[in-house]
Each structure stands twice: as C-alpha cells, then as structure tokens.
Structure 1
Amino acid sequence: MITGKNPLLPSLLPLGILLLGLASCHESKYLSGDQALYIGNKVKVVSSVPITRKQQKALAGELDDLLRPKLNDKFLGFRLKLWIYNIAGHPKKNKGFKHWLKYKVGQEPVLASPAIIQTNADVLQSHLENKGWFRDTVVAATFVKDKHLIATYTAQIGPRYTIRNITYPDDSDAVSNRIDTLQRGSLLKKGEPYDLDNVKAERIRIDSRLKNHGFYYFNPDYLVVELDTALGAHQVDMFMRIKDETPDAARTVYSIGDVFVYADYGVNSDTSLKHGYITPEGYHIVDTAHYLRPIVFRKTMVFQPGNIYREDDHNASLSRLVNLGVFRFVKARLEPASSVDSNDKLNAYFYLVPTKTKSFRFEVTALTRSDNTTGSEFSVSWRHRNLFHGAELFTAKVYTGVEGQSIGIGKKVSTYRAGLDLNLYFPRIISPFDLNTSSRFVPRTRIETSYDIFAQSAEYTLNSSRASFGYIFKNRITSQNELTVLGINYVHPTYINPQYQLSLDSNIMLRRAIEPTFIIGPTYNFTYSSLNDPRKLRLPDHYYFNGNIDLSNNLLGVLSHSDVLRTGKQQEIFGVPFAQYARFAVDFHYWHNFSKYNMIGFRANGGIGISYGNSSTMPFIKEFFGGGTDDIRAFRSRALGPGNYYRGNPNTTPFLPDQPGDIKLMFSLEYRASLVGLLRWAIFTDAGNVWTLRPDTSRPGSVFTPQFLNDFAVGVGTGLRFDFTIVVLRVDVAAPVRYPWHSNGSKWNFRGLTDISEMVFNLAVGYPF
C-alpha cells in the first residue's frame, strides 16, 4: 500500500497546466486581429439592503441562465469540439469526412462583441424590472487576455417593490362583473413582491375562468395592468382594466346552439349535410357509413346544446373522443349561429376521421441473463377497435416461447410456454352502481380471459386459467384506478414426471411452485404519475406511486369456517384447495432532474402477503421475490433470500429454485448522465430482501424480525443505456457488497467488485424505474 503524497503529482500538475496553455494558444491562432473568443460569464449581485446569501445566489443563477450566446462546450477544462473545428481546416466540399468532422462533430467558436455584451446587460436589466427591482442598474465589464474574453455583469439592486393594492375592472358590463367575482383566486397578493410572470399568469387565469362562463371570444390580451410606482416605500398599486378596443363579441356570453358530429369524416365528405340522426340530447349525428352507434356520442360528449359555453366541456369532449381510440383525427369548430334569434349562440361542428379498426402485430423477442439463461418468444396479436360499433376494443394474443438454462456440464433446464390472452374493453362503466368517475376521461369496463401452458423440460406441465371483470377509470390526469370486481385464477399441474415427483417430496419450494391453486377475489390498483401532467414536465422533480390491494376468498373462507392451521384440513372448490389471503404492495419513485439527461432517481418498493383461514402460506404466484434486472441487480433473478437463509450463493450456484417471501423491502438509488449522442451512463446502488411472515423450518433464518435491517443485501453497479427514444436498451453490471447470509461482522465484503464470478450482467429493455 502506498501512503503519503503521490510522487507523480508534482510532475503531472505542471504538465496539465502546460497542455491547457497550449490549447488556449492554439485557439487564439485561428482568430483575426480584432476577434476575441467569448469564454466566460460572471454574474454578481450587489444589494443596498440586507439580502440572504441563498437569495443572492438564487438571483445570480437566475440571471446567469438568461445570458446568450451559449459558450463553447468544455471537456475536462478543454474546448474539445472547438479544437476539432479548428484542426479540420476548410473543407472544399459540403460533404465528406472533413466536412462531417468540422460541422457535425466540431463546434464553431463563440466570438465576443460589444453588441452581445450590451444586449445581455439590457436583458438582465429588463428581467430585474420584471421581478420588481425598479430603477436598478446592470453594469457590464470585460476582461481580455490572449484574445480570450470574460464578461462580468454586476446587478446593483435595492429594495424590491411589493404590491400595495390591486384594482380590478369596475365597469357595469357582463365581463367586468364576472371578473369581479374571480378576485378570490387571484395570483396577485397584497404585500408580495411584484412579478410580471404572476401578472401574465393572472391574465391567463382570468381568461380561462371567463371561457368557462360563456365568454368564448375573450382573450388575455384584452386585459391590461397599469402600475403606479410613485407611492414611496417601494410599493406599487396595480390597476387592471379591459382595453377600450375590446370587441363586443368578447364581452358577450355565448351558449351552445346546434352540435353537428361528422362521425365518418374524410376529404370527400359533404360537410353541408345538416341532417342525420338526432339524439335526445340534440346532437346531429351525420354517419352515413354507420361507423358508430349513436349511444357512443351520448355517453362520450359533454358539450350539450343549450348549455352555456364552457372551455372545460369543449376540451373534455375532444379528449374523450380521442380516448375512444377509434378516431385518427379529431377536430372541433365553433361559429356563431346564423339565425336572427340566435345572436348569442355558437354552433359546434365535430369532424372525426376514423382510424383503421383492425390490425395484426408480429413480435419476436430474445433474452440472455448472467445465470446462463437464453431464450426467445414469438407472439401474434390481433386488435379490433370497434368490435360492436360502440368503440369496443378487442385484443387477442397467441404466444409461444422457450428458455434454456445451463446448470452444469451437460445439464440444461428448458422451459416452454404457450398461451392465449383475450381482452374486451367497453368505453363506459357497465354497473348498477355509480363509480363517480370524472367526465373529463372515458372510463372503461374490462373483461379478460387467458389460458397459459408452462412446461419445464420433461419434468412437469403446469396449466393456468384466468378470468376477470373490472373497471379502469381516471378522476385526474395524473392518476388511474383499476378495480377488478371479480378475478379468478386456477393453476394446476397436468403432468408430473415420476422422477421429478421424488424431488418434490424432498424440496418444499419446488413443490409449492406447482401446487394446485384456486384464487377468487377482487383487486384494486392505484397509480399516480406527475409525468402525465404536461404542465409539470418542465419541473425538476417528478413522482410516481403505485398501490395494490389483492384479496382472495375472504368471504368464502368466513362462510366455510376454514382454519387450516388449527384443523390441518383445507376446504376445496372443484377438488382444489382455495387460497385465502390479503396482499398489499406499494412502489414509489422520485426523480430530480439537473438537466435534460442528468438526474438522480430513488425507488422504494415493498409489500406484505398475509395468508390465513384456508391457507397456511401465500400462493406461490402471489409471493414476493428478490433480485433481477429491475430489482436488486447485484443478485440473480428471484434467487435472493429470504432473510439470511442460505442454500448457496445465488450468483455462483448453477441452479437454485425460486426463493419466495411474504414480506419485501427494496430501495434503489441511481444517478444517470449523458455521455454522447444517444448513449447514457448510470451508477447505482440497490438494497433490500424478502422474508417469510411465519417461521419456516425448511428455510432457517427466513422469518421477518425487528432486526430485519441486518438481513439487507446491498449491491452496486454501473451501466450503459442506449436511448433510441422509442425504446431504451440497458446493459448493467452489478456486484454484491453485502451478503445477508454471512455471519455478523463479515456481511460487508467487497470481493464482488473484483471477482467477475460474483458479478451479475443484465441486459434489459427500459429503465429500471
């Protein structure tokens, strides 16, 4: 081990300085006599009144973001792209390697000029005034050395002006009276600093509210805010008024006249047609091709004749029509009614271009894992978007696949899978009860059925049948609810090799994996994602939450008085024991973006399954597992835990059966950054484990205890992501650094960082969270 100072540093430091100096001189070589390379900006904030260091730094950063142009990129302190631009010379052709190198890889020098410096100073001055620092100044100064220029902008500020009074329009017309009722939710508050952005936002807010009260032709530009800054005490009075030139149409409250829906619109459609089926609500449905049944529009449209015009209803109708999934293009046009008696009415015209109703899709996928597993799957999907002419979506998928895993010399486990999956979605709630869903979104009723065959080598064949009925609905753009009123899942083996049966008799995990299971019950799934709100996409912080409740045979268990732990006997349905349990799971993600491709992410995932009554353990397919490409990546899939139970190192033992648990806790922290082009890079750490709720004599150390943190597995890793926009290909390598099955005092072990046999390589599609 080397201690003390590194003897190479004294010699490397001057060399680094020399290289930077040569690079700087090389940049100057390509500049003419009066040119200077713009290499740096400095923003200083000098206040004549007390201001906190945090506020000073925030304002300086805010001003710095306004400076233009963007300076030449640096890499390790060296302007690499500019250097490439210079050495590429002067290509004679607009193509070829030199042209590509100079203009695609290289970067043109950013030159300084008095005009640029003055423009930046004016922009900063204007920004300060917009934020309430009136009559303050920005002073620009430059420093030039070896044709390299650095500009310093000093913002000299005093007290920030605050709002004393706000006066809204007080005319007697309808629009002024309506604005007067909207003051309560104003974004402009007395005593708060003046901010032009808040003034603009307030005008937009008022315009939006007016459009929801019939003022269709109103516009934010019709509102003007005048300021009085001569009050003293650094206060400002604000006077909002409606411009005199505002047209009468913008001051008029409109209601909806006739609504025409062209349900099969095309370039050759005759839009002069005004006849068609008239619904009880008054919609004129022009659908000569009988593309959709009229009830679809009655259930979808919220833009109803006779109602006061509301922009929310307008947008909701468009959104709901788009979300039906049967139209390729949706457009709405409103125009004043031509009738003499309808001067304050708007006729609405909806033009709907149908999409292709039927489609086929062929898909082939391949996979490889570091546990010597390779495989592929082939599937064929058929989709019909308008099965019964009511915008019903029907999907059918047939699939088959095979996986093979080498578990030793000359030994291989092969698994085959095939199945059929059918889904039918209705664009409405089919229920005698009102679920109180939002009118902004189209709710769906889902009916699902599937059949799956799973065969492992010549050892056993497992069949699974599923059927469910439920609803998918949204009350907000950021959240979604999925309620399965009734779900049935029947799993049973149809063949077991006699030799394999001997293994089942001696290994409870292998036996549980294929034991017959009958699950009947409801589930509820709630999902929240801030990324679904377009207004929040530019924010640096984003959140995701998923919560799931899964219940099985709770009522049936109570009625049958089953208690397998007490009696040792399970009640059956059709000769198969039914599962009785309650399962809860949550998944939380948080991301903080430093820039477009640089961010840090955190994930917390956990759950608990409680078996009781007719079940002594959770059904195998409802258990929790640890390890894998989207889990604790330093351990092989489904092979970690439970607890500190040890049957072999999951990363080096050729074959380990899945190790399920009733409780799971998992945490991930990941930093992502951009390298070049579509290539991204990440470094991460994962921690967690699974446990059993009750002691398991076949797996000592698996039970959850108050000392559960001592059973945490920890892994670290790094990886590359190839971001093709429509798909992300991820390659990770991770190494364990904490082994839960080791004795206390030796759980932390960093040999995995250097021992390739301990490392896990993951190839996956998409980000882990």
Structure 2
Amino acid sequence: MNHKFHTYCKYLFVSGLASVAISCSNTRFLKQGQMLYTGAEVKIENDTISKKEKQELQSALEANLTPKPNSTFLGMRPKLYFYNIAKEPKKDKGFNYWLKYKIGEKPVLLGDVDREFNKDIIENYSENKGYFNAKATYDTVSKNKKAKVIYTVKPGARYLVDGVKFQKDSSLVNHEIQNLAGKTLLKNGKPFDLDVIKAERERIDNGLKERGFYYFHPDNIIVQADSTVNKNHKVELNVKLKDNTPDLSKQQFSIDKVIVFPNYNIQDVKEGKYSIPMNKDSLSKYAFDDIYVIDPQHKFKPKIFDRALYFKKGDLYNRTNHNLTLNRLISLGVFKFVKNEFVTSDSLQHKFDSYYLLTPRQIQSLRLEALGRTNSANYGGGELNLNWTHRNFFRGAEQFKAAIYGAFDFQMGGPSNANNMLRMGTNVQLSIPRIVAPFRFHSSSAFVPRTNITLGYEFQNRTQYYTLNNFTGSFGYLWKENVRKEHELKIIDITLVSPANVTDAYEKLYEKNDAMKRVVERQLIFGPTYSYTYTTTMLPRRNTVYYKGTVDLAGNITGLLTGANVKKDKQKEIFGIPFSQYAKIENDFRFYHKFTEKSSLATRFIAGMAYPYGNSQYVPFSKQFFAGGSNSIRAFRARTLGPGSFDPRILDQGAYFDQSGDIKLELNAEYRANLYKFLNAAVFVDAGNVWLINNDPERPGGKFSKDFVNEIAVGAGVGLRLDFSILILRLDLAMPLRVPYYEKGDRWTFNKINFGDPSWRKDNLIFNIAIGYPF
C-alpha cells in the first residue's frame, strides 16, 4: 500500500513539475511589458438576491466577457506552447504552419482586453435581466507576467413584473393581438427579462403571420416598462403597436392567384427569356383547380401541385401553409431549388398572387459504382453497380430506379477448387408521391407520403456447393410525421428462394449440420412488415438519438386460412412450396454525444428476436440474425460469431462459415476525433452475440439460456476514417478480448495477447475496410 502511495506521489510531483515548466516556458516568450491574460472573474455584491440567482448571473456575465483566455488542459496551456515553439512559417503550408496555426494557439494578452467595454457589457446585461441601476468596477491583478481582471458588480434588487397590459385600439391587427394576449410569455411575479420580451414579440409576430398579416414584423411591437408606479422594485409592462407602424403591416392579406413555374431557370431570367404573366387571360389555358401551371412543354402533370400546394384561391395567408408548401415541393424529389414570391394583385382588397418558381433537378441520371474489398478470411473480391434513376417517370414526380449489379469473392492463395462466391442481379423500384389505396390518406406533414413498389432478382452461386435464385417483391407506404418521425409499412413483402445445382459435396456437409441444409431449402416468405424511426441526429444538439424498431410477421393470415397453425405432420404449401411462419422484432437504438466540434462518442444497442411457429420449425436462414463483421462486432469475421458458446472450429474450416441465430444482443461504443482536416481517428469496443430459441444438437451451446451473459463476445480496436466528403473510407483494426466458445473461466484473452507472435497476430488481428461509419 505504501509503495503504491509513494508511486502515486511521484507521478503527481512529476505532473506538477511539467505543468509549472510548460506554464513558465510560455511566459518566457513574451516581450518586454507584455502580460499573458489568464481570464476574468465576476464578483457580485448583493444581499437581496438568492444564491441561485447570484450563480446564474455570475455565469452569464463571465460567458459574455471577451476575449477568452488561452485554452488549458490540467492547468497547462499546450496549444499556446506549440504556438510559441514553432518557427514562423514562410508559407501557409508545411509542418511549421500546421503546428503553429492549426495545433497551436496565439497568446491572448492583457493588452487585448477592453476592460471598459466589458464593464459596459456587465451593466447592460444586468439591467436587461431586471437588475436596474447596476454598477460595475474592475481591477487588474498581475504576477509573474500573468494577469487576470476582476469585475465587481453591484446589481441592486431585481425588478419583478407587476401587471401586463395589451393596449387597445380600433385597428384589425390590434384586435388579433388581443386574441393572442391570453398566451403571453409575460407573467406577473416573474423577473423583468429583455430576452423574454423579445420572445413575446416573436410570439405575437408568429401568431399574426398565421392570421394573414404577411408584412408584419416583430419590430412593430413595443413593450414599455414603467417602474415609477410601484416603488417596491416592481415594473408594469404595456404591450402596444408602435405609432410609426406601416399601414401595410396592419393589413390582412388573402391569396388571389396561385401560379407555378415548374421549369424556372435563373439563367433564363438573366437572358431576358423569363417573364411572369400579369393578367388572368394569359394564364387561363394552364388553369387547374385555381392553380395556374406555366408548363408549355407539359413536363409535369398539374395534379402533383394540387396535392403539394396548401394555398388555394381565397385562402387567408398563414405561415404554416407557406412553409408546408415549400417543404412538400422539395420533398417531391424532382426540384433542386424552390422559390416563393408574393406579388400584390389588389392593394385595396388586400390580395396578392403567390408565385412558385421551381428549378428541376436533372430528370435522369446514370451512376456506375465499383468497389474492391478484402477480409481477414483470405477472401478478396469486388462489386460493380449500375444505377439508373428517372425522377419524373409518369410526369407526376414518380421516381423510378433500376439497378443491375455483379459481385464476386474468391479465396486468395487457396486451392483451385476453393469455395468462391458469385452474385449478380437486378432490382427496380417505383416510388409514387402519394398514398395509392382504396381509402383516403390525409397528411399535414411537410413531407410527401409515398407508395413504394419494388421487384428484384438475385443469382447467387457458391462454386463448389450450390446455386440460389432469389426473387423479391414488395408493396407498401412510407410517410413522415415530421423531420424526426418516420413510418414504413409494407403490406406485402415477398421472398422466394429457389435452389439449384446443389452438389454432392454440399450434401455431405449438411448431413452433419441440419442448419446448412436449410440454406438450400425452397422458401416462400411473405407477410407485412412495419418499421418506425425516430431521430434527432440532424438537429444541432450536444446529445442526439436514433431509434428504429421493426416488426416482421410472415404467413400469419395464410396460416389461419390453411390450418397451418394447427400442428400437423406435414407442412402446408402454396404452389408446391412450404411457406414460412414467424414473428420477428428488432430494435436499434443509438446515442451520440458531442464533446467538442472535433470529438464525439457514438453508442449503439441492438436487441432482436425471431420466433418460428405454425408452419415453420425454424426461422428462414435469410431472416435470422448474424454477428461479426465490419458493421457489427469487428474483432470477429463476418457471420462467424455464435450462436451462444458454439465453437465454430469443430466445423470443416474450408467449407462454410456463416452462423446465424434467432436472438441477437449487441452493444457498441466508439470515440471519434478529428486529427487533421479529412483525417479522423476512432477507438472502439464491441460486445454481443446471437443465440438460438430451440436447442440444436449439431450446434451445442447455441440455445439462449439464463447464462447468456457469460456468452457475450467482446472486441476492441482502433481505426482511421478518411472523410473525402463524397465518401468516408473506414479502416478498422480489432482484436478479441473475450471469446464465448473458450472454456468457462478462460474466455477473457488479456493474458493471451502477444503482438510479437506472428501466429497470434494472424489469428487475432482482424482488419476491416468499409465505406461509411458502422453506426
């Protein structure tokens, strides 16, 4: 104990010396008469306000003072030190420039501090928070070429609101203001606060914008404060229109004509080719439901604007419908820029025309993608994708996407009869910007709901084992409540797996492993799926979350109709193919915490379960869960982990690796930091596994049990992310820390780590190359 204590004291002493050394070394770079500014302190002298109010005022005042001193770390200023030791670069590049101006930080001197300016800030801010007649003074304390400024504030008692009046007059706008008064932010007994007053003006302005007062502005409102009526530190507030409020701001406007230019081009405007028809006669031949579409080439069906535009002739202007219309036009996906203009058509009747100037995106695009890859299982390969997109397929902003692809993986340096893999296929999707259904679906969201239809085919060949033909199809809906919440319902989601050319070699393999036999069984999977997504990751917050929950129900109604739910000796079939019955649920929760603009923590938790019943004894292989790989537990090769404590080493290692399960638990944590421009680094830990619901004699230890915690695999590693804007190339190096198929009591591997052993490195260091972040 004494030895550990002395060791700790030594480390503490050395750290203290280093701190003093760096601190002193920074001041030696100062010129004669210069002093390093170490910050400011605000002292509040007032016995009438609470301790909490003092702390809040002090924190706010110190946050408003400028400039900020040099950043510190454990009492040291390493960034300032790097600035000081780096030579002045001759060019705006090179190591010295990077060290001095990118890593380093220029010294903040006492001469940079405008103390009078800060004193004014303190007094003004205090008064804005209700501390009227606040007075501030300052004093400078210096020692050893360092200086700090101490500001002393005498704020006096804080004034409270005692009466709020909305002054009346006979104008229409004042009548509407009176209707808004009931939800005022100005409350009796609350402290006087200029920020609350500003928020109240914004609230009134937003309310009037919803009632047709398009030209109104928050500055048209004045809130008068009277502290002379009550001398007991109380203030009365009077909310009124300014006397010089423009007449236009007092008028309530409605919509006359709605005019859409779906082929607007700013270049045509510059060349004088663009003009807005200003009379109704010139618009009549393009009219549709009181909407005038200027589209001589008939590139777009007018009906799409009727669904997207919330303004109709005679409607009172309101900001909500204004913003909803712009957002829905953008979410159609066919317009690159959307601009809205209001032009007064009848000033006496207070009407204006609403113009929508829409610049189309490129209607068709063709993209070719090529990808090369390798993994630690001595497999290399590549993939080629050709994608065609048409964003206005039937002239109604329907998006049609078609793709063909091919991929291959081959064993490098292996035998000539190695189990190479080949995939090729095609898929198409038609996305219609409305709900196609026998019922009426109304959405007031800013996002256009969509009906999605997909068809696909994939040919998969494992050269020495089998060939699979996979057919897929789906019909469903995608809609968003708002920017955070999204729903996707596939009424029908069909997968048909048809095997061919199953070799004798593979038949011998699955004689020993029934799970491998199920891979090449004919499968018909169909049923509804539903997913719900909630995310705040697009918001500028310090903490953000992402959640996606998915429910997949296969063959439930068909099972009832055919009697498959009743246990029988023989499976029920459709077109000679047994159909699958199962219920599957999966939850994916992610939490992101931003420490600074250049560092963050990302975490993810996945929990899922698939349960077979009725016509199925097992969940189809393609619908089961897998663990391991570049987007999962990175210390284990893709799909090699689990189930449970099953040891995959007992299998023929040259044959088949994929291991699946009915239950999945996974937890990931990753610290991310920016090193330099496009170069980012990460340190991560992954944990989890998959398990079986039913016992499988051929995979002992695979069933989920109360001992599942002891079967959790753990891996950790480091990585680099090369952020090239158009893509992020990810390089991860991981190693296992806990292996679930080792003997109990010996599953942690810390005592086995040996970086100097080539054999250990080959078996335990897993290198992953991937595109994008893992989560």
User: Unpaired segments of 5 or more residues in structure 2?
Assistant: 755-759
SS at match of 2:455: strand
Give the residue type in structure 2 aligned to 1:560: T
Correspondence for 1:392 = 398
Give the residue type in structure 1 aligned to 2:591: Y
| Preserved contact between residue 563 and residue 569 of structure 1 (Cα < 8 Å) | no
From 558, 566, 569, the equivalent of 1:556 is: 558
State whether structure 2 residue 492 is matched by structure 1 residue 486: yes
Q: Distance in 2 between matches of 1:96 and 1:728?
A: 25
From 271, 274, 283, the equivalent of 2:275 is: 271
Q: Distance in 1 between matches of 2:673 and 2:96?
A: 29
Q: Distance in 2 between matches of 1:229 and 1:715?
A: 66
Q: Distance in 1 between matches of 2:123 and 2:684?
A: 43
Cα separation, partners in 2 of 1:455 and 1:169, compared to 1, 3 Å: farther
Give the residue type in structure 2 aligned to 1:222: N
From 121, 127, 135, the equivalent of 2:125 is: 127
Cα separation, partners in 2 of 1:307 and 1:713, compared to 1, 3 Å: same
Q: Distance in 1 between matches of 2:633 and 2:186?
A: 49
Per the TM alignment, residue 394 of structure 1 is displaced from its structure 2 partner at its CA by: 0.9
Cα separation, partners in 2 of 1:334 and 1:647, compared to 1, 3 Å: same
Correspondence for 2:37 = 38
SS at match of 2:117: helix
Correspondence for 1:26 = 28
Q: Deviation per CA, 1:332-385, whole angstroms, max 9, x where unpaired?
A: 1102114x7x53111111112222211111111222333333322111111111
| Preserved contact between residue 643 and residue 691 of structure 2 (Cα < 8 Å) | yes
Cα separation, partners in 2 of 1:399 and 1:184, compared to 1, 3 Å: farther
State whether structure 2 residue 678 is matched by structure 1 residue 678: yes
Q: Deviation per CA, 1:378-402, whole angstroms, max 9, x where unpaired?
A: 1111111111211111111111111
Q: Distance in 1 between matches of 2:253 and 2:428?
A: 47
Correspondence for 2:338 = 330
Give the residue type in structure 1 aligned to 2:200: E
| Preserved contact between residue 359 and residue 382 of structure 1 (Cα < 8 Å) | yes
Correspondence for 1:628 = 629
Stretch deviating more after TM superposition (199-208 or 717-726): 717-726
Per the TM alignment, residue 653 of structure 1 is displaced from its structure 2 partner at its CA by: 7.0
Correspondence for 1:220 = 218
Correspondence for 2:200 = 202
SS at match of 2:516: helix
Correspondence for 2:688 = 688
State whether structure 2 residue 139 is matched by structure 1 residue 141: yes
Q: Distance in 2 between matches of 1:308 and 1:10?
A: 71
Q: Deviation per CA, 1:578-612, whole angstroms, max 9, x where unpaired?
A: 11111111111122223223333332211111211
Stretch deviating more after TM superposition (278-287 or 575-584): 278-287
Q: Distance in 1 between matches of 2:492 and 2:700?
A: 37
Q: Distance in 2 between matches of 1:399 and 1:81?
A: 50
Q: Distance in 1 between matches of 2:226 and 2:541?
A: 33
Matches within 5 A, 1:482-561: 482-532=488-538, 537-561=539-563
Give the residue type in structure 2 aligned to 1:244: D
Structure-1-length-normalised TM-score: 0.90
Give the residue type in structure 1 aligned to 2:185: L
SS at match of 1:322: helix
Matches within 5 A, 1:277-676: 277-338=285-346, 343-405=349-411, 412-532=418-538, 537-563=539-565, 566-648=567-649, 657-676=657-676
Structure-2-length-normalised TM-score: 0.89
Q: Distance in 2 between matches of 1:358 and 1:747?
A: 55
Give the residue type in structure 2 aligned to 1:333: E
SS at match of 2:537: helix
Q: Distance in 2 between matches of 1:664 and 1:50?
A: 56
Per the TM alignment, residue 719 of structure 1 is displaced from its structure 2 partner at its CA by: 2.9
Aligned length: 757
Q: Distance in 1 between matches of 2:331 and 2:372?
A: 32
Q: Distance in 1 between matches of 2:12 and 2:113?
A: 44
Correspondence for 1:186 = 184
Q: Distance in 2 between matches of 1:731 and 1:182?
A: 57
Q: Distance in 1 between matches of 2:302 and 2:545?
A: 40
Q: Deviation per CA, 1:281-337, whole angstroms, max 9, x where unpaired?
A: 211111112111111211221111111111111111122122222222221110211
Cα separation, partners in 2 of 1:496 and 1:195, compared to 1, 3 Å: farther
Q: Deviation per CA, 1:468-523, whole angstroms, max 9, x where unpaired?
A: 11111112121111111112111121221222221122222322233221111111
Per the TM alignment, residue 141 of structure 1 is displaced from its structure 2 partner at its CA by: 3.1
Stretch deviating more after TM superposition (235-244 or 752-761): 752-761
Q: Deviation per CA, 1:112-168, whole angstroms, max 9, x where unpaired?
A: 227523323333443333334444444433232343323344555566544333323
From 66, 69, 84, the equivalent of 1:68 is: 66
SS at match of 1:472: strand
| Preserved contact between residue 19 and residue 75 of structure 2 (Cα < 8 Å) | no
Give the residue type in structure 1 aligned to 2:149: A
Per the TM alignment, residue 100 of structure 1 is displaced from its structure 2 partner at its CA by: 7.2
Q: Deviation per CA, 1:1-56, whole angstroms, max 9, x where unpaired?
A: 9953349759845862574255224322xx2x333232434455666357567x76
Stretch deviating more after TM superposition (150-159 or 426-435): 150-159
SS at match of 2:734: strand
Q: Distance in 2 between matches of 1:459 and 1:591?
A: 43
| Preserved contact between residue 734 and residue 765 of structure 2 (Cα < 8 Å) | yes
Correspondence for 2:757 = none
| Preserved contact between residue 421 and residue 462 of structure 2 (Cα < 8 Å) | yes
Give the residue type in structure 2 aligned to 1:476: N
SS at match of 1:27: coil
Cα separation, partners in 2 of 1:502 and 1:649, compared to 1, 3 Å: closer
Cα separation, partners in 2 of 1:121 and 1:591, compared to 1, 3 Å: farther
Q: Distance in 1 between matches of 2:648 and 2:506?
A: 20
Correspondence for 1:739 = 739
Q: Distance in 2 between matches of 1:235 and 1:642?
A: 71
Q: Deviation per CA, 1:660-689, whole angstroms, max 9, x where unpaired?
A: 111222223333333343333333333322
Q: Distance in 1 between matches of 2:490 and 2:109?
A: 64
SS at match of 2:201: helix
Q: Distance in 1 between matches of 2:445 and 2:345?
A: 27
Give the residue type in structure 1 aligned to 2:142: V
Q: Distance in 2 between matches of 1:93 and 1:608?
A: 60
Q: Deviation per CA, 1:560-591, whole angstroms, max 9, x where unpaired?
A: 11158x32321122222111111111111122
State whether structure 2 residue 712 is matched by structure 1 residue 712: yes
Give the residue type in structure 1 aligned to 2:588: D
Q: Distance in 2 between matches of 1:488 and 1:512?
A: 18
SS at match of 1:207: helix
Correspondence for 1:762 = 768
Per the TM alignment, residue 101 of structure 1 is displaced from its structure 2 partner at its CA by: 6.6
Q: Distance in 2 between matches of 1:636 and 1:116?
A: 61
SS at match of 2:475: strand
Stretch deviating more after TM superposition (611-620 or 73-82): 73-82
Q: Distance in 1 between matches of 2:2 and 2:424?
A: 60
Give the residue type in structure 2 aligned to 1:329: F
Stretch deviating more after TM superposition (655-664 or 481-490): 655-664
Q: Distance in 2 between matches of 1:587 and 1:420?
A: 28
Stretch deviating more after TM superposition (434-443 or 173-182): 434-443
Give the residue type in structure 2 aligned to 1:397: A
Per the TM alignment, residue 172 of structure 1 is displaced from its structure 2 partner at its CA by: 3.0
SS at match of 1:182: helix
SS at match of 1:557: helix
Cα separation, partners in 2 of 1:77 and 1:586, compared to 1, 3 Å: same
| Preserved contact between residue 117 and residue 140 of structure 1 (Cα < 8 Å) | yes
Per the TM alignment, residue 734 of structure 1 is displaced from its structure 2 partner at its CA by: 3.1
